[in-house]
Amino acid sequence: MPEWEHDDFLTNAPLEWLYAFHSDPVKQRQMLVLVTEKAASVGIKSFRAIWTDYLKQLRATREDPEDHVTQFEGQPIELSCGIYACSDLGIYGVNNYGTVDVCTHPIMPVRRLINIDTGEVKQEIAYRRGKRWRTVIFDKQTLSSAQKIVGLSSYGIGVDSENAKDMVRYLSAMENLNYDQLPEASSVGRLGWVEGHGFSPYVDNLVFDGDDKYRHMFNSVCAHGKLDAWMDVAKAVRAGNSIVARCMLAASFASVLVAPMDALPFMVHVWGGAGAGKTVGLMLAASVWAAPSVGDYCKSFNSTDVASELQAAFCGNLPLCLDELQVQKERKDFDKLIYMLCEGVGRNRGAKTGGLQRTPTWRNCTISTGEQPITNGNSGAGAVNRVIDLNCGDEKLFEDPRSVVAILTRNYGHAGKKFVAALSDETTLETVRNIQQAMYEQLSGKSTDKQALAASLILTADAVAEMVLFEDGKSLTVSDILPFLTTSAQADANRRAYNWLMDTIASNPGRFQTNNFNEYVGECWGAVSEQEGRAYIIKSVFDRLMGDAGYSAESFLSWAKRQGLLKLSGGHNTILKRIKALPVAMRCVAITTNQDEEGGTIVDNDV
């Protein structure tokens, strides 16, 4: 150590001499002790404070005695590193106490990503442990917090609670020093149409910055193998006798039309016995866009509501393909799932920092399979309206399903890219809108409005695919899809409740007093008058039966009143009725029993 005098400590000479040891933190701290003692011996009692201010000035001005740049072997990019020494030996910097060991291995920002949906900025971080460089994308909130940056350790990055603050300072300094040198790219966390950019993932230089859990699914959406091999399979299906398989293929194309046609999300559910080839049909639908194997793009029904919501939001405008409905534990969950997937918007959730999280949205088609229908007699009208149920029964969708699977797993993704490219032309898109409107007009009045809209998208997509891809003259027609659509009467939950109620009355004759006998078997539910064509059901029993079957008693009575099916008393939907076996008059629902399933009058009740 030089023999400094009092006036020497009023210059930067001791400070610069001490800083020269920055590559050896232990040596530097030892020298700091000696220099502080020397300064005190010549009357400078505050050298430690002067040293701290000197280090702060270096960080603030980025003035370093040496012009440091990163010197990592095989580094993706060379960056200025200011007061940091960056080499394969590690990264060293300074804090208020002197030189510190920031990280034991190379790590650096290599790219800035700006999400085209949200505007959120993220950073792509490159690091090397061993011989290979790896990259991971993190949001700025994580990289700016000493508490959150510790999470990088799960990727093998050398950060812990001891060096977390220094790592935050280092990465922030590297970005600020090299802001103009760092490449900037657009990023996206989902699939589908992106306003002003095109269709993800077909936009050039578009980077995926979403949840790593979906990275494999995102990467599966690509062209692989040969288009001709895939076309041979698809054309064979279009030329075959299975309308179900043809509808599944057309529904996959239709998914990307939902947003451009200003339509609502919908669901196509294929059900039937085991061995029909439903899963192979789902793979065919998925292969339009991506690797079709279950686990790649196709997913299972075996997931929570939140997971299904996030999957739908990730798919965006591409079809959500779900296999094996029967893994859902409770049937009552089906209606909830249908409403959620076909609503096109997720739940509002609070953010930890206050306010609301960004609400996920999607506009697509969900294609699902199972051994049973996804709706039943007590499903809500909205659920029935949103689902096109394709019952394949005992039909075999494919003559040789094993060979179809072998071809699809090796050749996929070409058709979807060509289909989207055709839609990118505004003239073609206008033609598609005209076709869809014509299809919708043909279907109107033959089914519910929502079913007609969904079916028109399927027919339109099939017609457009025939024009831009297949050119085989095998497009689906209205008569092909019409048998699978639901009429207004079939979709009406109250009409279905009425039909169920008539079945219940007919199948429990011993619980109703009739003109012919007064003896009851078990609990008394009311009375039936064949002359009046009316059933009298004790109100408390009626409420219980309707509730157990999943119907709303009040909603049904309101509907029945509007339909003229109730005998009324004053302002009530019930009347007082004396049932002979009971000692007092009972408040009963008096409902007509002579309507058929479509609302017409039954003339002859005899069987």
What's the mean per-residue pLDDT of the chain?
85
Q: What is the dihedral of CA 586, 591, 593, 596, to 10 degrees?
A: -160
In a domain, 18, yes or no: yes
In a domain, 226, yes or no: yes
Q: Which residues contact 403 (CB under 8 A, 6 or more apart)?
A: none
Q: Give yes or no for residue 607 having a pLDDT over 50.
A: no
Looking at 457, 490, 523, the residue that finishes a domain is 490
- pLDDT tier at 65 (50, 70, 90 boundaries)? very low
Place of tokens 């959120």: 120
Which residue, 221, 227, 215, 396, is CA-closest to 319? 221
CB 446 within 8 A of CB 237: no
What is the pTM (predicted TM-score) of this model?
A: 0.75
In a domain, 215, yes or no: no
CA separation for the pair 418, 119 (Å, rounded): 29
- Among 157-166, 233-242, 294-303, the range scoring the smallest mean pLDDT is 294-303
Whole-angstrom CA distances from 602 to 110, 284, 357, 528, 598 are 77, 46, 56, 16, 11
Q: Give yes or no for residue 60 having a pLDDT over 60.
A: no
Q: What is the dihedral of CA 265, 192, 415, 386, to 10 degrees?
A: -10
CB 267 within 8 A of CB 366: yes
Q: Are residues 441 and 520 in the same domain?
A: no
In a domain, 313, yes or no: yes
Strands (E), 259-350: 266-272, 299-300, 320-323
Question: How far out from the chain centre does Cα 588 lie?
Answer: 48
DSSP designation for 399? S
What is the predicted pLDDT for the residue at 315? 92
Q: Are residues 246 and 381 in the same domain?
A: yes
In a domain, 208, yes or no: no
Q: How many domains does the chain divide into?
A: 4
CA separation for the pair 364, 269 (Å, rounded): 14
CA separation for the pair 99, 59 (Å, rounded): 12
Q: Are residues 235 and 346 in the same domain?
A: yes
CA separation for the pair 290, 223 (Å, rounded): 7
CA separation for the pair 210, 397 (Å, rounded): 36
Residues in the chain, total:
607
Q: For a pLDDT cut of 70, what percent of the chain falls above it?
A: 90
Q: Is 582 helix (H, G, I), strand (E, B) or coil?
A: coil
Q: What is the pLDDT of residues 204-252, one digit of tens each?
A: 888 888 888 888 899 999 999 999 999 999 999 999 888 999 999 999 9
Amino acid at 358: R
Place of tokens 């076996």: 581
What is the predicted pLDDT for the residue at 409? 93
Helices (H) and strands (E) counted in the chain, each on its own, are 21, 20
What is the predicted pLDDT for the residue at 326? 67
Q: Are residues 104 and 225 in the same domain?
A: no
For strand 534-538 and strand 85-87, is the pairing parallel, antiparallel, or unpaired? unpaired
Q: Are residues 160 and 297 in the same domain?
A: no
Q: What is the pLDDT of residues 128-155, one digit of tens each?
A: 988 899 999 999 889 999 999 999 999 9
Which residue, 302, 282, 301, is CA-closest to 292? 282
Amino acid at 21: F
- Among 55-59, 408-412, 460-464, the range scoring the smallest mean pLDDT is 55-59
For strand 184-188 and strand 107-115, is the pairing parallel, antiparallel, or unpaired? parallel
- pLDDT tier at 552 (50, 70, 90 boundaries)? confident
What is the predicted pLDDT for the residue at 67? 58
CA end-to-end distance (rounded Å), the chain: 116
In a domain, 381, yes or no: yes
Q: Are residues 299 and 439 in the same domain?
A: yes
Over residues 424-450, mean pLDDT: 89
Q: Give yes or no for residue 391 having a pLDDT over 70.
A: yes
Q: Are residues 368 and 289 in the same domain?
A: yes
What is the predicted pLDDT for the residue at 227? 93
In a domain, 605, yes or no: no
CB atoms within 10 A of CB 100: 21
What the block records as the tokens of 265 is 């999300």
CB 465 within 8 A of CB 250: yes
Q: Which residues contact 540 (CB under 8 A, 6 or more apart)?
A: none
CA separation for the pair 98, 93 (Å, rounded): 8
CA separation for the pair 338, 340 (Å, rounded): 5
Q: Are residues 340 and 226 in the same domain?
A: yes
Q: Are residues 318 and 408 in the same domain?
A: yes
CA separation for the pair 54, 19 (Å, rounded): 10
- Among 138-147, 473-482, 483-492, the range scoring the smallest mean pLDDT is 483-492
Over residues 69-98, mean pLDDT: 82
Which helix (H) or strand (E) covers residue 401, if one does? helix 401-408
Instruction: Give residue 33's domain range.
Output: 7-61
- pLDDT tier at 603 (50, 70, 90 boundaries)? very low
**Sheet (strand 85-87) strand order:** 85-87, 90-95, 98-103
CA separation for the pair 31, 21 (Å, rounded): 8
Q: Are residues 373 and 279 in the same domain?
A: yes
Looking at 143, 162, 186, the residue that finishes a domain is 186
Looking at 490, 520, 545, the residue that finishes a domain is 490
What is the predicted pLDDT for the residue at 226? 94
Q: Are residues 288 and 397 in the same domain?
A: yes
Which residue, 300, 465, 461, is CA-closest to 365? 461
In a domain, 597, yes or no: no
Helix extents (H) in 288-380: 305-315, 333-343
Over residues 72-86, mean pLDDT: 87
* Residues β-bridged to residue 268: 367, 388
What is the predicted pLDDT for the residue at 284? 94
Q: Are residues 36 and 142 in the same domain?
A: no
